[in-house]
Structure 1
């Protein structure tokens, strides 16, 4: 039943030879990898207005020059990451750039920050999308957390079905969102140009504002820069592109940058001219759409596509997180299980882990993850800064043809990103201080995992000058509960192995039962020695392990191998297991970690 459900939800297993069919073309890649960046249009401009609102509506005109600053940063990042795509065509993005050029620790800071940031991407995006949905349908507000979790589960299942299939489905909402916002910007702009929007709604550009400080402007700029989260995802996911992968990835990145710049600028301009003020209950995009169209079908179309894109922005995390985890796992900094492909050729362990951790985050913050946006943004700008700095070092070291313009582009990107990171720490320290504690802990964990893998590799390495002592013989110990076909099957198997000695061991809780078993065993005439142990405290494990210890001590010098062979019957139906005593499981668990004992099971399959 479980297997059938899995096939229904995820689909049939794909052959390894079908991997090429799971690559993305530019149109699908733009949808699946740009959803995070494009969705930030729905909350980036709003973050600027929220900060400016602290000194009054007259300060809203500052959103225009601040937006220009964000656009300059966008151009620098797009050009910088385009160079990273060609310099590191196998993906890895900020992690690979930082590790190869700045050292392992900066690489781990970049990689770890992005791993956490992709978890935040899913939690923040889904929660923001649910906010947009409940803005249009207030009756759903009480079920905010449940709706958000259901969306995460749905996205997880969709991504487990494979990159191509998820991209085919998710492309439509993303492009619908782009169309919806272009319609909104076009209609709103037309009303402004034709004088249908009263100039009284917005404060004139240049209006002096009392109480406005440079600190506040820096804080607003940093908040607006959250619209640039997700820009790096394409450089991490180059292996998902069809060939030529670097060229297709670069073209997709440029297209994403162009769309993001147009949509971000349009929303900021409409917000200013329509005099939109941020509200806890209604998003800025919702207010603009209502002012432009009223509460008609176009309003609901825009709200619906906005909610969808905010939710589907999480898919950028599902695309980039598993690939980044693969790079870290290959370098032995996180568990190697993340390098394994699932039935549908995706890195399913990374996908499932991302979904699970995102749900925990939504539950922890009760779906109100807007307070995580600064942490989410600074978690991106630290890798931004490191990757650009790493590219500067690369160009200086290698100095290929035409390296100087490339150096200037990356230097500009590094300077701006470093400035934004500093602004975050100066203006939002109360919200992002956990990162100061978290990053050292994260690096420590990565290094402990690496030390473990290195120690294991050293211990398992076979060397010509270190020969293992040959095993001189094998003693098989068979725990038995009585004389049954299961025990008979195990004895026959043990005798076929030609061991030095076979010992059947029975632990009894009753002296009378012990005597009866000994008599039956003697009459059975198996030729196998029986040892009976009496347990005062009704424990099987303790007497059995003591007996194994005694055998181990007696045979230590002769270098004999001790094998505990556990008889076990397998019921015909899976649910029958709950009807039987699981003594064999307890024995296996107790003996599994004993250094010099081999534990194995001989199954006897029941027919009824």
Structure 2
């Protein structure tokens, strides 16, 4: 009989895949683009807005400076794409920034990058979903009170889709991604056409005035404002490295297909970002960190939400009640939410690589039913949901934590690639090959310098606005991974076989069967114990209740069991401690002997039945595991409810192991069933 949990799991996830079907899940470029590039493409929807939010701190007079930080973002995005093309071609096995840094700069810098990427992936989910919900609320303001619940619902949906497998999630997310790309390009084309023909569109906020938070800026303050605007606009680069982490998911030739996908991602992202930024300037779109700084803002500025930049631009180009406007809003919300899928396809494989190298728990290395890294997917969802809840689903508050990890990995990765090319030059045999390596090294060296400067700028400009939390979190993650690695290393060293150990064999084996009454479960446990052919075999019960103990002794003598029954007194009605003390007494006189403890257990078919039985066997087993020279064997007895649930025959041979929920009343002194 199949349980309801199994039925629900199959409905959500589908049928499990065999391991030999892994090749069938590899991605063509048309599916790889929406899977790995959706984060970088979706940032177009809020990168322009983040620049405006900072420039408006100085008032309207600074909005004309927007091309400066926006131009810097475009140049940086081009540099990063070119740099990571070199990573894809040099490291086609995946691992991206972590593998590059670990192999070229060492384990500790590699862990710094791993921590940065893990933080970045979590923030990608939180920020992308929150930004998508912002656009939904821009079209439907009445949903604002349910912001957090909507965010959590979308995270649950994304988690379920990714648990179904990479290829299937790619099919589901391809149409919204391409629809968003088409919608933005059409919006930009229509907006620019109207402008060139003398019908310049105007945003609804074009007539607003802004109450500046900073006035009379000096040259230094103005430069800092521009740097801060640039660092905020650098959110457009989030997810740019995702392709390099997911090369193994591509079809062959993997490196070539991944490099082409990255190029298309860069070209499309730059074109879309430039178009939206140009339209924001043309339509005179305004948005502030605090709605109350807008003079003429309709409604209560403390409770009403401002419309996003892309919503205002779309309304200006198409009209706020038109079908194209709602189409742009729907596709924008979808791409922002689905952009989190980039993290779902980057976070679990990175954890798998770290787990393989013993820096993360081994459970994160294995694949689930659908050949996806299920444990990593669930872990990502839980942490991202916690952030959404903690920050109230606010994109503005969450995004301050976002960029630092991105540029940490960018900078160290490009530095590692420079060292990689330096080593490659020593083995280059032809002038053509050396020329190619010199060109690649120059690209990565420029990328390292550029992203390093941006990292410093981001750290300075965003530190007090929330980035300090990332500065705290990353060292904690590094220390955690280092501790996990040290633990695994110590365990491996401890478990290494010493030749002397082979000569030190146990002296004798003593079997103890713990009983509480004479019944079928006790009889089976004794049969199992006899089958191991111990040197001595003794039944043990703890006297918790005098009447029960006398009844057990009488049954033992009447049935001629054939092995001695030892009664251990327990004046304080404990079970665990008297058994442990008895075992210690036996081993004290014969330390080379082994004691094997057999515990009869019931197997029931329903969780509520398990609650009705004494669980003291769990405590006893847990305590016995810490005793040297002691082995613990659970001997199950399947009750009728378990046989009915799992379609087991009513009678079956002793020794068969059946599925079920274990619970036991059979500890000595716990009372007969």
* TM category, shorter: over 0.9
Q: 2:389 corresponds to which residue?
A: 363
| Rounded Cα–Cα distance in structure 2 between residues aligned with 1:133 and 1:551 | 71
The answer for the alignment partner of 1:286 in structure 2 is: 311
Distance 1:496 1:409 in 2: 71
**CA distance in structure 2 between the partners assigned to 1:268 and 1:506 by the alignment:** 80
Moved more, 368-377 or 441-450: 368-377
* Aligned: 1:352 with 2:355: no
Deviation at 1:336, TM superposition (A): 1.5
CA distance in 1, matches of 2:326, 2:501: 73
Match of 1:457 in 2: 492
1:388 corresponds to 2:388: no
Q: SS state of the match for residue 506, structure 2?
A: coil
Alignment of 1:398-477 (within 5 A): 398-399=424-425, 400=428, 401=433, 402-430=436-464, 431-464=466-499, 466-477=501-512
Are residue 597 (structure 1) and residue 630 (structure 2) matched? Answer: yes
SS in 1 for 2:400: helix
* 1:274 aligns to 2:283 (yes or no): yes
Residues in 2 aligned to 1:460 and 1:234: alpha-carbon distance in whole angstroms: 39
| Larger deviation, residues 82-91 vs 462-471 | 462-471
2:295 alignment counterpart:
none
Provide Cα deviations, 1:462-483, integer angstroms capped at 9, x if missing partner. 2445425112221111111111
Give the equivalent residue in structure 2 for 1:328: 354
Q: List aligned pairs for 1:122-521, cutoff 5 A.
A: 122-197=125-200, 211=217, 213-279=222-288, 280-294=305-319, 295-399=321-425, 400=428, 401=433, 402-430=436-464, 431-464=466-499, 466-521=501-556
Number of corresponding residues: 601
Q: Please tell me whether residue 86 in structure 1 is matched to residue 89 in structure 2.
A: yes
CA distance in 1, matches of 2:138, 2:202: 27
Q: Return closer, same or farther for 1:596/1:330 CA change in 2, 3 Å cut-off.
A: same
Q: TM-score, normalised by structure 1?
A: 0.96
Question: How far apart, in 1, do the equivalents of 2:493 and 2:617 lie?
Answer: 34
> For 1:367-418, what per-residue CA distance to the aligned partner results, in whole angstroms no more than 9, with x for missing partners?
1242231321111000000011111111222214222111111111111101
State the secondary structure of the residue aligned to 2:623. helix
8 A contact 1:362–1:369 mirrored in 2: no
> Would you say the 8 A contact 1:199–1:273 is kept in 2?
yes
Take 2:261 and 2:489, find their aligned partners in 1: how far apart are those partners?
A: 39
Query: Hey, what's the Cα distance between the residues in 2 that align with 1:151 and 1:303?
Result: 16
Contact 1:338 1:347 in 2 (8 A): yes
Tell me the secondary structure at the aligned position of residue 594 of structure 1: coil
Following superposition, the deviation at residue 582 of structure 1 comes to 2.4
Deviations 1:97-151 (A, max 9, x none): 1111111111111111101110111111111111111111112111111111111
CA distance in 2, matches of 1:210, 1:274: 26
Q: 1:532 aligns with which of 544, 567, 570?
A: 567
Q: Residue deviations 1:342-376, cap 9 Å, x none?
A: 11111111111111111111111121242231321
Would you say the 8 A contact 2:391–2:398 is kept in 1?
no
Query: How big is the alpha-carbon RMSD for the aligned residues of Structure 1 and Structure 2?
Result: 1.8
CA distance in 2, matches of 1:334, 1:583: 33
**Pair 1:30 & 2:33 matched:** yes
**Maintained 8 Å contact 1:202/1:273:** no
Distance in 1 of aligned mates of 2:207 and 2:420:
48
Extract unaligned runs of 5+ from structure 1: 204-208
8 Å contact from structure 2 (residues 131, 337) kept in 1: yes
Q: CA 1:516–1:110 in structure 2 vs 1: closer, same or farther (change >3 Å)?
A: same
Give the Cα separation in 1 of the matches to 2:263 and 2:488: 40
3-state SS of 2:541 partner: strand
Q: Is the 8 A contact 1:567 1:584 kept in 2?
A: no
Kindly state the Cα deviation for residue 533 of structure 1 after the two structures are TM-superposed: 2.1
List alignment gaps of at least 5 residues for structure 2.
209-214, 289-304, 642-673
| Equivalent runs, 1:28-107 vs 2, <5 Å | 28-107=31-110
Between the aligned partners of 1:594 and 1:121, the Cα distance in structure 2 is 47
Q: Name the structure where helix makes up a greater proportion of residues.
A: 1
